[in-house]
Amino acid sequence: MEAARPQPSVYFARAVDFVDPTEVAMSSARAREALARLGLRLVDPVEHEAGADLPGLTGSAHAAAIVELDLALLRRSDAMLVDMTIPARNYIGCVAELVYAHQWRIPAVVYVGSTGYEQRPWLRYHATHVCRSQDEAVAILRDVLIGTAALPAGRTPE
């Protein structure tokens, strides 16, 4: 009997700072559901940060602990999904994570909605693929991590 392959993990980056926490959680739930339908597991750094034991840390020490935690999660992930759909948003954390993913050769798929960010040369350079929608991004991740040959019977690539 062949051992089951572990579910590929996908680190999820998106706007978090100055975003309503309910929307942050809902974006995670939507991404988790979309990935799970294709046999992929979401890694949400926001959830890990909330569960981290960071008592007494303030200022730059607190920031360093969060960044190091997030980078450790990214480093252990098989791929990265990035939501950059908010127009005129400054995605400092997402861009930094994208650079690390590129350096570590972790496939990164970015979806940008109608922002026009797909025109940005630095984004196109660091991302494995840039597309418009989350559905398209998840399908691309499935192809990168699993391949179309692994689709369930009767299922075709979108």
Whether residue 24 lies inside any domain: the answer is: yes
Whether residue 158 lies inside any domain: the answer is: no
CATH number of the CATH domain containing 60? 3.40.50.450
- State the pTM of this model: 0.87
| Predicted confidence (pLDDT) per residue in 31-67, tens digit | 999 999 998 999 999 988 776 667 677 788 878 888 9
Task: Kindly write down the DSSP assignment for every residue of the chain, as one continuous string.
Answer: -PPPPPPPEEEEEE--TTS-HHHHHHHHHHHHHHHHTTT-EEE-HHHHHHHS--TT--HHHHHHHHHHHHHHHHHH-SEEEEE--STT---HHHHHHHHHHHHTT--EEEE-TTSSGGG-HHHHHH-SEEES-HHHHHHHHHHHHT-GGGSPTT----
Q: Which residues does the chain have with pLDDT short of 70?
A: 1-5, 51-53, 55, 148-158
Whether residue 98 lies inside any domain: the answer is: yes
Whether residue 119 lies inside any domain: the answer is: yes
Query: In total, how many domains does the chain have?
Result: 1
- Structural domain of residue 37, as residue ranges? 9-150
